[in-house]
Amino acid sequence: MGAPEFNPMEIDLSLAKRIAAARRLVALTGAGVSAESGLPTFRGAGGQWNNMRPEQLATAEGFRADPKMVWSWYQHRRRAYRLAAPNAGHLALAELGTILPSVTIATQNVDRLHQRAGSRQVIELHGNVVENHCMRCNEPAGEVSLESDELQACRHCGGWLRPSVVWFGEMLPVEALESASEAAAAADVFLSIGTSAQVYPAAQLPALAQHNGALLIEINPEPTPLSHLAEAVFRAPSAQVLPALVKAIRQVS
């Protein structure tokens, strides 16, 4: 018997009370939290990019093998991110940050929608897709124009530019992983939202929090390898659950 599944529209007030009492709430978010902003997830239904797997595209080998294809995948995504807007789930998390003493968002997403929604404590575990750097000499190259999908050459050495995201097989930024791990270990409430919990080391964070005594809650329409660890599960879209959760927390506060 897994964790009790809560109806997202009638938030159990005793659960809301426990979240309202959180001194340190941490949320791990994945592509699912941006689904209602119209951005496709990687692995769910309607996954990205005529179902090429991110493990092939989001790698240095994939880029070296076909830089044009991988670069245009990122240009396509950057244009989509620019047109997208934070959804009710992003906004509810930002509002939660104004109600509770400490809300930290450790995101695997590179779309910056949490920041655009107003969340202030955001840790970007997988980098961001705004900046670029040289594949050959690592020279930072900042933003590039989204007008064309032409490969851009480093003005320093002529190597190809790549997005400054963390690819598979690459280390996560040390300070990001350290602060996310410290936050998870100290959390009294941990929300795992819109992630299939398959990509490590990010997927380790919910278990780390739960192991240190946090109340672990999963918000995802589908079960994940994490579901059995969660004390409460909302099997519904985050843009529905998060506003209902914030409303219930306000009611009991």
118-155 burial, b if ≥16 CB within 10 A, otherwise e? ebeebbbbbbbbbebbbbeeeeebeebeeeeeeebebe
Nearest CB to Zn ion, comparing residues 11 and 144: 144
Residue nearest to ligand BV8 (CB): 32
Q: Which residues contact 133 (CB under 8 A, 6 or more apart)?
A: 139, 140, 141, 161, 162, 164
Q: How many CB atoms lie within 10 A of CB 65?
A: 11
Asked whether position 67 contacts Zn ion by CB under 5 A, the answer is no
C-beta of residue 190 within 8 angstroms of C-beta of residue 166: no
Q: Restricting to residues 146-185, which ones interact with Zn ion according to CB under 5 A?
A: 154, 156-157, 159
Segment contacting ligand BV8 by CB under 6 A, of 131-139, 159-167, 180-188, 243-251 = 159-167
Of the candidates 8, 62, 97, 194, which one interacts with ligand BV8 according to CB under 6 A? 194
H/E stretch holding 63 reads helix 60-65
Interface mask toward ligand BV8 for 77-106; x: CB under 6 A: ------------------------------
CA 208 to chain centre: 17
Q: Which of 126, 156, 211, 228 is catalytic?
A: 126
Q: Which is nearer to ligand BV8, 104 or 195 (CB)?
A: 195
Per the annotation, the verdict on 114 as an active-site residue is no
Active site residue ranges? 126
